[in-house]
Amino acid sequence: MSFRVLSYSYKGGTGRTTSTANIAAALAQNHSVLCIDLDVDAPGLGILFGFYDNLRGIKDYNLYLQDYLTCEDPASFDIEKALIDVSKESGTGLKFNKTLKVFPSKIKYPKSISFTGNTTAQRLESLLKKIEETGEFEYIILDSPSGFGEMAAISMYVSEYILLFFRYCLQHVEGTIQISHFINKLALDYLPVATSVPRDNPGFTEPMKVEILKKLTGRDIFEIPENNSLKWNERIVLFDSEDKFPGIKKMQACYSNLANKLVKERR
Ligand SMILES: Nc1ncnc2c1ncn2[C@@H]1O[C@H](COP(=O)(O)OP(=O)(O)OP(=O)(O)O)[C@@H](O)[C@H]1O
Ligand SMILES: [Mg+2]
Residue of minimum CA distance from atom 9 in ligand 1:
15
Ligand 1 contacts CB of residue 23 (under 6 A): no
Dump pLDDT digits (tens) for 7-32: 999 999 899 999 999 999 999 999 99
Minimal CA–CA distance to 33: which of 91, 109, 77, 86? 86
* Residue scoring higher pLDDT (247 or 203): 247
- With cut-offs at 50, 70 and 90, classify the pLDDT of residue 235: low
Ligand 1 contacts CB of residue 146 (under 6 A): yes
- With cut-offs at 50, 70 and 90, classify the pLDDT of residue 237: low
**Ligand 1 atom nearest 13 alpha carbon:** 23
- Give the lowest-confidence range in 42-56, 60-74, 99-113, 161-175: 42-56
Q: What is the DSSP string of 132-152?
A: HHTT--SEEEEEPPPSSSHHH
Q: Given a cut of 70, is residue 197 above it in pLDDT?
A: no
Q: Given a cut of 60, is residue 58 above it in pLDDT?
A: no
Q: Which CATH superfamily is domain 3-266 in?
A: P-loop containing nucleotide triphosphate hydrolases (3.40.50.300)
pTM assigned to the model: 0.91
Q: Where are the domains positioned within the chain?
A: 3-266
Distance, CA 211 to ligand 1 centroid (Å)?
25
